[in-house]
Structure 1
Amino acid sequence: MLQAKIDTHTHTIASIHAYSTLLENIYAAKEKKLTGLAVTDHAPGLGPGETFNKSYFGNMRKAIPEFVHGIRILKGVEANVIDHEGNLDLPTSTFEKLDIVIASCHEKVVKPASSIEHDRIWENIAKNPWVDIIGHCGNGNYPFTHDKIIKLFKEYDKIVEINSSSFPYRKNARQNCREIALLCKKYGVKVSVSSDAHFVTDIGNFTESLTMLEEIDFPQELIVNRELETLLASLPKCQ
Protein backbone atom coordinates (compact mmCIF):
# COMPACT_ATOMS: atom_id res chain seq x y z
CA MET A 1 0.00 0.00 0.00
CA LEU A 2 1.33 3.41 -0.99
CA GLN A 3 1.94 5.96 1.75
CA ALA A 4 2.95 9.55 2.40
CA LYS A 5 4.09 10.85 5.79
CA ILE A 6 4.49 14.56 5.06
CA ASP A 7 1.83 16.92 3.77
CA THR A 8 3.66 19.11 1.27
CA HIS A 9 0.88 21.61 0.47
CA THR A 10 -1.20 23.23 3.22
CA HIS A 11 -2.67 26.64 4.00
CA THR A 12 -3.34 28.68 7.13
CA ILE A 13 -5.45 31.73 7.88
CA ALA A 14 -2.64 33.81 6.35
CA SER A 15 -4.01 32.71 2.96
CA ILE A 16 -7.22 34.64 3.78
CA HIS A 17 -9.50 32.00 2.19
CA ALA A 18 -8.21 29.26 4.53
CA TYR A 19 -9.56 28.78 8.03
CA SER A 20 -7.06 27.20 10.43
CA THR A 21 -3.93 28.34 12.21
CA LEU A 22 -0.51 26.81 11.71
CA LEU A 23 -0.59 25.34 15.21
CA GLU A 24 -3.99 23.73 14.57
CA ASN A 25 -2.55 22.18 11.41
CA ILE A 26 0.46 20.90 13.33
CA TYR A 27 -1.74 19.26 15.95
CA ALA A 28 -3.74 17.60 13.15
CA ALA A 29 -0.53 16.35 11.51
CA LYS A 30 0.59 14.84 14.81
CA GLU A 31 -2.79 13.18 15.37
CA LYS A 32 -2.60 11.62 11.90
CA LYS A 33 0.93 10.39 12.61
CA LEU A 34 2.60 12.50 9.95
CA THR A 35 6.27 13.26 10.43
CA GLY A 36 6.33 16.57 8.58
CA LEU A 37 4.18 19.47 7.45
CA ALA A 38 4.88 22.10 4.81
CA VAL A 39 3.20 25.44 5.36
CA THR A 40 2.72 26.84 1.86
CA ASP A 41 0.43 29.84 2.04
CA HIS A 42 -0.44 31.75 -1.10
CA ALA A 43 1.91 34.46 -2.34
CA PRO A 44 0.65 38.01 -3.11
CA GLY A 45 -1.41 37.17 -6.20
CA LEU A 46 -4.00 35.44 -3.99
CA GLY A 47 -3.07 37.13 -0.71
CA PRO A 48 -3.79 40.38 1.11
CA GLY A 49 -0.93 42.44 -0.27
CA GLU A 50 2.69 42.37 -1.41
CA THR A 51 4.29 43.99 1.63
CA PHE A 52 2.58 41.68 4.11
CA ASN A 53 3.46 38.60 2.13
CA LYS A 54 7.14 39.41 1.64
CA SER A 55 7.47 40.01 5.35
CA TYR A 56 5.46 36.91 6.22
CA PHE A 57 7.49 34.53 4.06
CA GLY A 58 10.81 36.20 4.73
CA ASN A 59 10.39 35.80 8.50
CA MET A 60 9.29 32.16 8.57
CA ARG A 61 12.67 30.50 8.92
CA LYS A 62 13.62 32.76 11.83
CA ALA A 63 10.29 32.68 13.62
CA ILE A 64 9.13 29.06 13.30
CA PRO A 65 11.19 26.24 14.88
CA GLU A 66 12.37 23.37 12.72
CA PHE A 67 10.35 20.93 14.83
CA VAL A 68 7.10 21.67 16.67
CA HIS A 69 5.60 18.87 18.80
CA GLY A 70 7.81 16.41 16.97
CA ILE A 71 6.63 17.48 13.51
CA ARG A 72 9.22 18.79 11.05
CA ILE A 73 7.96 22.13 9.73
CA LEU A 74 8.95 23.02 6.18
CA LYS A 75 8.70 26.72 5.51
CA GLY A 76 7.33 27.30 2.05
CA VAL A 77 5.04 29.11 -0.34
CA GLU A 78 2.59 28.38 -3.09
CA ALA A 79 3.80 30.98 -5.57
CA ASN A 80 1.47 32.14 -8.32
CA VAL A 81 2.36 32.09 -12.00
CA ILE A 82 1.51 35.65 -13.04
CA ASP A 83 1.93 35.54 -16.83
CA HIS A 84 2.42 33.22 -19.77
CA GLU A 85 6.20 33.53 -19.44
CA GLY A 86 6.07 31.66 -16.13
CA ASN A 87 7.06 34.59 -13.92
CA LEU A 88 6.17 34.28 -10.23
CA ASP A 89 4.81 36.75 -7.70
CA LEU A 90 7.67 36.77 -5.19
CA PRO A 91 11.33 37.73 -5.71
CA THR A 92 14.29 35.39 -5.60
CA SER A 93 15.40 37.01 -2.35
CA THR A 94 12.28 35.55 -0.69
CA PHE A 95 12.59 32.09 -2.28
CA GLU A 96 16.15 31.91 -0.94
CA LYS A 97 14.79 31.95 2.62
CA LEU A 98 12.31 29.08 2.14
CA ASP A 99 12.60 25.30 2.28
CA ILE A 100 10.04 24.56 -0.40
CA VAL A 101 8.53 26.48 -3.33
CA ILE A 102 5.41 25.33 -5.19
CA ALA A 103 4.53 27.05 -8.47
CA SER A 104 0.85 26.97 -9.45
CA CYS A 105 -1.53 28.48 -11.97
CA HIS A 106 -4.70 30.06 -10.55
CA GLU A 107 -7.46 31.48 -12.71
CA LYS A 108 -7.68 34.69 -10.67
CA VAL A 109 -4.01 35.43 -11.35
CA VAL A 110 -3.08 34.13 -14.82
CA LYS A 111 -5.72 33.83 -17.52
CA PRO A 112 -6.10 30.37 -19.10
CA ALA A 113 -5.02 30.43 -22.74
CA SER A 114 -3.90 27.92 -25.36
CA SER A 115 -1.84 24.78 -24.87
CA ILE A 116 1.05 26.54 -26.59
CA GLU A 117 1.04 29.30 -23.99
CA HIS A 118 0.61 26.82 -21.13
CA ASP A 119 3.57 24.81 -22.47
CA ARG A 120 5.64 28.00 -22.36
CA ILE A 121 4.62 28.58 -18.74
CA TRP A 122 5.77 25.12 -17.65
CA GLU A 123 8.90 25.20 -19.81
CA ASN A 124 10.06 28.33 -18.00
CA ILE A 125 8.94 27.07 -14.59
CA ALA A 126 10.92 23.86 -15.20
CA LYS A 127 14.04 25.97 -15.79
CA ASN A 128 13.47 28.08 -12.66
CA PRO A 129 16.02 26.81 -10.11
CA TRP A 130 13.97 28.06 -7.13
CA VAL A 131 10.86 25.99 -7.91
CA ASP A 132 10.70 22.58 -6.24
CA ILE A 133 7.15 21.38 -6.92
CA ILE A 134 4.80 21.84 -9.87
CA GLY A 135 1.44 22.63 -8.26
CA HIS A 136 -1.83 20.98 -9.36
CA CYS A 137 -0.94 20.90 -13.06
CA GLY A 138 -3.83 18.50 -13.65
CA ASN A 139 -6.18 21.49 -13.77
CA GLY A 140 -8.06 21.12 -17.06
CA ASN A 141 -8.33 24.87 -17.48
CA TYR A 142 -4.61 24.88 -18.27
CA PRO A 143 -4.12 22.08 -20.83
CA PHE A 144 -0.55 21.45 -21.93
CA THR A 145 1.40 18.89 -23.94
CA HIS A 146 1.77 16.28 -21.23
CA ASP A 147 4.46 14.09 -22.74
CA LYS A 148 6.78 16.95 -23.70
CA ILE A 149 6.46 18.85 -20.41
CA ILE A 150 6.71 15.82 -18.10
CA LYS A 151 9.98 14.89 -19.81
CA LEU A 152 11.16 18.46 -19.20
CA PHE A 153 10.25 18.16 -15.50
CA LYS A 154 12.41 15.05 -15.42
CA GLU A 155 15.30 16.88 -17.09
CA TYR A 156 15.19 19.70 -14.53
CA ASP A 157 14.45 17.42 -11.57
CA LYS A 158 11.10 18.94 -10.64
CA ILE A 159 8.57 17.22 -8.40
CA VAL A 160 5.07 16.91 -9.87
CA GLU A 161 2.27 17.33 -7.36
CA ILE A 162 -0.71 14.98 -7.34
CA ASN A 163 -3.16 17.21 -5.51
CA SER A 164 -5.99 15.37 -3.77
CA SER A 165 -8.23 18.42 -3.49
CA SER A 166 -8.12 18.91 -7.27
CA PHE A 167 -9.94 15.68 -8.07
CA PRO A 168 -13.49 16.79 -7.19
CA TYR A 169 -13.10 20.50 -7.94
CA ARG A 170 -10.79 21.24 -10.87
CA LYS A 171 -11.81 20.62 -14.48
CA ASN A 172 -10.93 17.09 -15.70
CA ALA A 173 -8.43 16.80 -12.84
CA ARG A 174 -9.02 13.11 -12.17
CA GLN A 175 -8.35 12.09 -15.78
CA ASN A 176 -5.50 14.56 -16.25
CA CYS A 177 -3.75 13.55 -13.03
CA ARG A 178 -3.96 9.91 -14.06
CA GLU A 179 -2.39 10.66 -17.45
CA ILE A 180 0.29 12.81 -15.83
CA ALA A 181 1.04 10.15 -13.21
CA LEU A 182 1.37 7.47 -15.89
CA LEU A 183 3.94 9.64 -17.68
CA CYS A 184 5.77 10.27 -14.41
CA LYS A 185 5.91 6.50 -13.94
CA LYS A 186 7.14 6.02 -17.51
CA TYR A 187 9.90 8.64 -17.28
CA GLY A 188 10.82 8.22 -13.62
CA VAL A 189 9.60 11.65 -12.54
CA LYS A 190 9.26 12.25 -8.81
CA VAL A 191 5.83 13.15 -7.42
CA SER A 192 4.43 14.42 -4.15
CA VAL A 193 0.93 13.73 -2.92
CA SER A 194 -0.72 16.53 -1.02
CA SER A 195 -3.94 17.60 0.62
CA ASP A 196 -3.89 21.31 -0.34
CA ALA A 197 -5.75 21.65 2.95
CA HIS A 198 -7.57 24.91 3.60
CA PHE A 199 -9.07 23.65 6.87
CA VAL A 200 -7.57 21.55 9.63
CA THR A 201 -9.66 18.43 8.97
CA ASP A 202 -8.06 17.99 5.54
CA ILE A 203 -4.47 17.89 6.78
CA GLY A 204 -2.92 14.61 5.62
CA ASN A 205 -5.89 13.72 3.41
CA PHE A 206 -4.17 12.00 0.48
CA THR A 207 -6.93 9.49 -0.23
CA GLU A 208 -7.79 10.60 -3.77
CA SER A 209 -4.16 10.81 -4.86
CA LEU A 210 -2.99 7.55 -3.34
CA THR A 211 -6.02 5.61 -4.58
CA MET A 212 -5.39 6.73 -8.14
CA LEU A 213 -1.67 5.99 -7.90
CA GLU A 214 -2.38 2.49 -6.57
CA GLU A 215 -4.75 1.88 -9.48
CA ILE A 216 -1.89 2.46 -11.94
CA ASP A 217 0.66 0.53 -9.88
CA PHE A 218 2.73 3.64 -9.31
CA PRO A 219 6.13 2.93 -7.70
CA GLN A 220 6.44 3.96 -4.06
CA GLU A 221 10.05 5.04 -4.61
CA LEU A 222 8.94 7.92 -6.85
CA ILE A 223 6.74 9.43 -4.10
CA VAL A 224 9.19 11.83 -2.46
CA ASN A 225 7.09 12.48 0.64
CA ARG A 226 6.80 8.80 1.51
CA GLU A 227 9.33 9.50 4.29
CA LEU A 228 10.78 12.68 5.74
CA GLU A 229 14.30 11.68 4.68
CA THR A 230 13.34 11.13 1.05
CA LEU A 231 11.54 14.45 0.87
CA LEU A 232 14.42 16.42 2.40
CA ALA A 233 16.82 14.71 0.01
CA SER A 234 14.71 16.04 -2.90
CA LEU A 235 14.71 19.66 -1.69
CA PRO A 236 17.98 21.45 -2.52
CA LYS A 237 17.44 24.18 0.06
CA CYS A 238 17.18 21.53 2.82
CA GLN A 239 20.60 20.05 2.08
Structure 2
Amino acid sequence: MLEAKIDTHTHTIASIHAYSTLMENIQIAKKKSLTGLAVTDHAPGLGIGETFPKSYFGNMRKAIPEVVDGLRIIKGVEANVMDHDGNLDLPTSTFEKLDLVIASCHEKVVKPATIKEHDKIWENIAKNPWVDIIGHSGNGNYDFSHEKIIKLFKEYDKIVEINSSSFPYRKNARKNCRDIALLCKKYRVKVTISSDAHFATDIGNFTESLNMLEDIQFPQELIVNRNLDTLLEALPKIKK
Protein backbone atom coordinates (compact mmCIF):
# COMPACT_ATOMS: atom_id res chain seq x y z
CA MET A 1 0.00 0.00 0.00
CA LEU A 2 1.33 3.42 -0.95
CA GLU A 3 1.79 6.03 1.74
CA ALA A 4 3.20 9.49 2.38
CA LYS A 5 4.39 10.56 5.82
CA ILE A 6 5.23 14.23 5.16
CA ASP A 7 2.87 16.84 3.75
CA THR A 8 4.99 18.89 1.35
CA HIS A 9 2.49 21.64 0.47
CA THR A 10 0.51 23.41 3.21
CA HIS A 11 -0.59 26.95 4.04
CA THR A 12 -1.01 28.99 7.20
CA ILE A 13 -2.69 32.30 7.95
CA ALA A 14 0.40 33.92 6.38
CA SER A 15 -1.28 33.10 3.07
CA ILE A 16 -4.19 35.28 4.29
CA HIS A 17 -6.79 33.19 2.42
CA ALA A 18 -5.81 30.20 4.59
CA TYR A 19 -7.30 29.82 8.04
CA SER A 20 -4.97 28.03 10.49
CA THR A 21 -1.74 28.78 12.30
CA LEU A 22 1.41 26.74 11.90
CA MET A 23 0.94 25.26 15.39
CA GLU A 24 -2.60 24.20 14.53
CA ASN A 25 -1.28 22.50 11.38
CA ILE A 26 1.43 20.79 13.42
CA GLN A 27 -1.13 19.46 15.91
CA ILE A 28 -3.21 17.88 13.13
CA ALA A 29 -0.09 16.47 11.45
CA LYS A 30 0.83 14.78 14.73
CA LYS A 31 -2.68 13.36 15.15
CA LYS A 32 -2.47 11.89 11.66
CA SER A 33 0.91 10.29 12.45
CA LEU A 34 2.88 12.34 9.94
CA THR A 35 6.60 12.64 10.63
CA GLY A 36 7.18 15.95 8.86
CA LEU A 37 5.39 19.04 7.64
CA ALA A 38 6.41 21.60 5.03
CA VAL A 39 5.09 25.12 5.49
CA THR A 40 4.83 26.60 1.99
CA ASP A 41 2.86 29.81 2.08
CA HIS A 42 2.22 31.83 -1.06
CA ALA A 43 4.96 34.22 -2.14
CA PRO A 44 4.15 37.96 -2.51
CA GLY A 45 3.41 37.89 -6.25
CA LEU A 46 -0.12 36.69 -5.55
CA GLY A 47 -0.89 40.24 -4.48
CA ILE A 48 -1.66 42.48 -1.53
CA GLY A 49 -4.07 40.83 0.86
CA GLU A 50 -3.04 37.31 -0.13
CA THR A 51 0.33 36.79 1.58
CA PHE A 52 3.04 38.30 3.77
CA PRO A 53 6.13 40.10 2.33
CA LYS A 54 9.37 38.35 1.38
CA SER A 55 10.88 39.04 4.82
CA TYR A 56 8.48 36.41 6.20
CA PHE A 57 10.20 33.74 4.13
CA GLY A 58 13.72 35.00 4.74
CA ASN A 59 13.23 34.69 8.50
CA MET A 60 11.76 31.17 8.60
CA ARG A 61 14.92 29.14 9.17
CA LYS A 62 15.99 31.41 12.02
CA ALA A 63 12.59 31.70 13.69
CA ILE A 64 11.06 28.23 13.35
CA PRO A 65 12.72 25.27 15.09
CA GLU A 66 13.84 22.34 12.98
CA VAL A 67 11.72 19.99 15.09
CA VAL A 68 8.51 20.89 16.91
CA ASP A 69 6.88 18.31 19.17
CA GLY A 70 8.80 15.56 17.39
CA LEU A 71 7.70 16.73 13.92
CA ARG A 72 10.32 17.83 11.38
CA ILE A 73 9.41 21.26 10.02
CA ILE A 74 10.50 22.03 6.46
CA LYS A 75 10.61 25.72 5.66
CA GLY A 76 9.50 26.51 2.15
CA VAL A 77 7.44 28.62 -0.19
CA GLU A 78 4.95 28.23 -2.99
CA ALA A 79 6.48 30.68 -5.43
CA ASN A 80 4.35 32.18 -8.17
CA VAL A 81 5.23 31.88 -11.84
CA MET A 82 4.95 35.53 -12.88
CA ASP A 83 5.08 35.30 -16.68
CA HIS A 84 5.47 32.96 -19.63
CA ASP A 85 9.26 33.12 -19.26
CA GLY A 86 8.94 31.29 -15.94
CA ASN A 87 10.18 34.13 -13.74
CA LEU A 88 9.36 33.74 -10.04
CA ASP A 89 8.34 36.29 -7.44
CA LEU A 90 11.16 35.96 -4.90
CA PRO A 91 14.88 36.64 -5.36
CA THR A 92 17.60 34.02 -5.17
CA SER A 93 18.72 35.55 -1.87
CA THR A 94 15.41 34.40 -0.34
CA PHE A 95 15.42 30.96 -1.97
CA GLU A 96 18.88 30.41 -0.48
CA LYS A 97 17.35 30.65 3.00
CA LEU A 98 14.66 28.03 2.41
CA ASP A 99 14.58 24.23 2.44
CA LEU A 100 12.01 23.83 -0.30
CA VAL A 101 10.70 25.80 -3.29
CA ILE A 102 7.48 24.93 -5.11
CA ALA A 103 6.80 26.73 -8.39
CA SER A 104 3.12 27.06 -9.29
CA CYS A 105 0.94 28.83 -11.83
CA HIS A 106 -2.04 30.75 -10.44
CA GLU A 107 -4.67 32.32 -12.66
CA LYS A 108 -4.60 35.55 -10.69
CA VAL A 109 -0.89 35.99 -11.47
CA VAL A 110 -0.07 34.53 -14.89
CA LYS A 111 -2.75 34.39 -17.55
CA PRO A 112 -3.45 30.94 -19.03
CA ALA A 113 -2.34 30.85 -22.65
CA THR A 114 -1.44 28.25 -25.29
CA ILE A 115 0.19 24.89 -24.78
CA LYS A 116 3.29 26.27 -26.49
CA GLU A 117 3.49 29.14 -24.01
CA HIS A 118 2.87 26.81 -21.06
CA ASP A 119 5.65 24.54 -22.35
CA LYS A 120 7.95 27.57 -22.31
CA ILE A 121 7.06 28.23 -18.68
CA TRP A 122 7.94 24.72 -17.57
CA GLU A 123 11.04 24.51 -19.76
CA ASN A 124 12.43 27.53 -17.95
CA ILE A 125 11.26 26.38 -14.54
CA ALA A 126 12.93 22.99 -15.14
CA LYS A 127 16.24 24.79 -15.67
CA ASN A 128 15.87 26.91 -12.53
CA PRO A 129 18.20 25.33 -9.95
CA TRP A 130 16.24 26.75 -7.00
CA VAL A 131 12.96 25.02 -7.86
CA ASP A 132 12.42 21.64 -6.22
CA ILE A 133 8.76 20.85 -6.90
CA ILE A 134 6.38 21.54 -9.79
CA GLY A 135 3.17 22.71 -8.10
CA HIS A 136 -0.30 21.34 -8.97
CA SER A 137 0.92 20.17 -12.37
CA GLY A 138 -2.49 18.77 -13.35
CA ASN A 139 -4.24 22.15 -13.61
CA GLY A 140 -6.04 22.03 -16.97
CA ASN A 141 -5.93 25.79 -17.32
CA TYR A 142 -2.20 25.40 -17.93
CA ASP A 143 -2.14 22.35 -20.20
CA PHE A 144 1.30 21.51 -21.52
CA SER A 145 2.94 18.85 -23.69
CA HIS A 146 2.97 16.23 -20.98
CA GLU A 147 5.48 13.77 -22.36
CA LYS A 148 8.00 16.35 -23.54
CA ILE A 149 7.93 18.30 -20.28
CA ILE A 150 7.92 15.27 -17.97
CA LYS A 151 11.07 14.05 -19.73
CA LEU A 152 12.58 17.49 -19.12
CA PHE A 153 11.68 17.31 -15.43
CA LYS A 154 13.52 14.00 -15.34
CA GLU A 155 16.57 15.56 -16.98
CA TYR A 156 16.69 18.40 -14.44
CA ASP A 157 15.71 16.25 -11.45
CA LYS A 158 12.49 18.07 -10.59
CA ILE A 159 9.83 16.57 -8.36
CA VAL A 160 6.29 16.55 -9.77
CA GLU A 161 3.50 17.28 -7.32
CA ILE A 162 0.35 15.17 -7.30
CA ASN A 163 -1.90 17.64 -5.52
CA SER A 164 -4.93 16.07 -3.86
CA SER A 165 -6.85 19.33 -3.55
CA SER A 166 -6.67 19.83 -7.32
CA PHE A 167 -8.79 16.78 -8.14
CA PRO A 168 -12.22 18.26 -7.32
CA TYR A 169 -11.45 21.91 -8.05
CA ARG A 170 -9.01 22.42 -10.92
CA LYS A 171 -9.96 21.94 -14.57
CA ASN A 172 -9.44 18.35 -15.80
CA ALA A 173 -7.16 17.67 -12.82
CA ARG A 174 -8.19 14.05 -12.31
CA LYS A 175 -7.41 13.07 -15.89
CA ASN A 176 -4.32 15.23 -16.14
CA CYS A 177 -2.84 14.01 -12.86
CA ARG A 178 -3.37 10.42 -13.95
CA ASP A 179 -1.73 11.03 -17.34
CA ILE A 180 1.16 12.87 -15.71
CA ALA A 181 1.63 10.15 -13.09
CA LEU A 182 1.71 7.46 -15.78
CA LEU A 183 4.47 9.39 -17.55
CA CYS A 184 6.35 9.81 -14.28
CA LYS A 185 6.11 6.06 -13.83
CA LYS A 186 7.33 5.47 -17.41
CA TYR A 187 10.31 7.83 -17.15
CA ARG A 188 11.09 7.26 -13.46
CA VAL A 189 10.34 10.83 -12.42
CA LYS A 190 10.05 11.51 -8.71
CA VAL A 191 6.73 12.72 -7.33
CA THR A 192 5.42 14.11 -4.08
CA ILE A 193 1.88 13.75 -2.76
CA SER A 194 0.45 16.82 -1.08
CA SER A 195 -2.73 18.18 0.48
CA ASP A 196 -2.30 21.88 -0.40
CA ALA A 197 -4.18 22.38 2.85
CA HIS A 198 -5.61 25.82 3.58
CA PHE A 199 -7.22 24.67 6.85
CA ALA A 200 -5.70 22.47 9.53
CA THR A 201 -8.11 19.54 9.21
CA ASP A 202 -7.01 19.01 5.61
CA ILE A 203 -3.34 18.46 6.56
CA GLY A 204 -2.28 15.00 5.39
CA ASN A 205 -5.35 14.51 3.23
CA PHE A 206 -3.80 12.50 0.40
CA THR A 207 -6.82 10.32 -0.40
CA GLU A 208 -7.43 11.42 -4.00
CA SER A 209 -3.77 11.19 -4.96
CA LEU A 210 -3.11 7.87 -3.25
CA ASN A 211 -6.19 6.24 -4.74
CA MET A 212 -5.16 7.27 -8.24
CA LEU A 213 -1.55 6.19 -7.78
CA GLU A 214 -2.66 2.83 -6.35
CA ASP A 215 -4.92 2.35 -9.35
CA ILE A 216 -2.04 2.78 -11.82
CA GLN A 217 0.34 0.70 -9.67
CA PHE A 218 2.72 3.60 -9.19
CA PRO A 219 6.10 2.60 -7.71
CA GLN A 220 6.44 3.53 -4.05
CA GLU A 221 10.16 4.24 -4.50
CA LEU A 222 9.37 7.23 -6.73
CA ILE A 223 7.33 8.94 -3.98
CA VAL A 224 9.87 11.18 -2.27
CA ASN A 225 7.72 11.96 0.77
CA ARG A 226 7.03 8.33 1.59
CA ASN A 227 9.22 8.89 4.66
CA LEU A 228 11.41 11.60 6.12
CA ASP A 229 14.72 10.08 5.00
CA THR A 230 13.65 9.84 1.37
CA LEU A 231 12.39 13.43 1.37
CA LEU A 232 15.57 14.80 2.92
CA GLU A 233 17.58 12.89 0.32
CA ALA A 234 15.50 14.47 -2.48
CA LEU A 235 15.89 18.03 -1.17
CA PRO A 236 19.59 18.92 -1.14
CA LYS A 237 19.09 22.36 0.48
CA ILE A 238 17.78 20.83 3.70
CA LYS A 239 20.19 20.49 6.59
CA LYS A 240 20.40 16.76 7.29
TM tier, smaller: over 0.9
Output the amino acid matched with 2:94: T
Inter-CA distance 203–47: structure 2 relative to 1 (3 Å threshold): farther
1:87 matched residue in structure 2: 87
Structure 1, unaligned stretches of length 5 or more? none
1:179 matched residue in structure 2: 179
Q: What is the DSSP-based 3-state SS (H/G/I as helix, E as strand, rest coil) of the residue aligned with 1:236?
A: coil
Cα shift readout 1:102-139 (whole Å, capped 9, x = no counterpart): 00000000000000000000000000000000000100
**1:52 deviation in Å?**
4.4
1:234 matched residue in structure 2: 234
1:144 matched residue in structure 2: 144
Q: What is the DSSP-based 3-state SS (H/G/I as helix, E as strand, rest coil) of the residue aligned with 1:27?
A: helix
- Report if aligned partners of 1:47, 1:53 keep a CA contact under 8 Å in 2: no
Q: In 1, distance between residues paired with 2:121 and 2:47?
A: 21
**1:49 deviation in Å?**
7.1
Q: Could you tell me the TM-score, scaled by structure 1's length?
A: 0.98
Output the amino acid matched with 2:46: L
Q: In 2, distance between residues paired with 1:51 and 1:230?
A: 30
1:18 aligned to 2:18? yes
Matches within 5 A, 1:181-200: 181-200=181-200
1:105 aligned to 2:119? no
**1:48 deviation in Å?**
3.4
Q: In 2, distance between residues paired with 1:47 and 1:34?
A: 32
- Report if aligned partners of 1:11, 1:18 keep a CA contact under 8 Å in 2: yes
Matches within 5 A, 1:38-77: 38-48=38-48, 52-77=52-77
1:222 aligned to 2:222? yes
User: Alignment length, in residue pairs?
Assistant: 239
- Report if aligned partners of 1:16, 1:48 keep a CA contact under 8 Å in 2: no
Q: Could you tell me the TM-score, scaled by structure 2's length?
A: 0.98
1:115 aligned to 2:127? no
Q: In 2, distance between residues paired with 1:131 and 1:221?
A: 21
Q: What is the DSSP-based 3-state SS (H/G/I as helix, E as strand, rest coil) of the residue aligned with 1:193?
A: strand
Which structure 1 residue ranges, 4+ long, deviate > 6 Å from structure 2? none
Q: In 2, distance between residues paired with 1:179 and 1:22?
A: 33
Structure 2, unaligned stretches of length 5 or more? none
Cα shift readout 1:185-233 (whole Å, capped 9, x = no counterpart): 0000000000000000100000000000000000000000000000000
Output the amino acid matched with 2:175: Q
1:32 aligned to 2:40? no
2:168 matched residue in structure 1: 168
Q: What is the DSSP-based 3-state SS (H/G/I as helix, E as strand, rest coil) of the residue aligned with 1:116?
A: helix
- Report if aligned partners of 1:190, 1:222 keep a CA contact under 8 Å in 2: yes
Q: What is the DSSP-based 3-state SS (H/G/I as helix, E as strand, rest coil) of the residue aligned with 1:76?
A: strand
Inter-CA distance 33–151: structure 2 relative to 1 (3 Å threshold): same
Q: In 1, distance between residues paired with 2:213 and 2:197?
A: 20
Output the amino acid matched with 1:222: L
Q: Percent identity?
A: 84
- Report if aligned partners of 1:15, 1:47 keep a CA contact under 8 Å in 2: no
**1:47 deviation in Å?**
4.8
Output the amino acid matched with 2:132: D
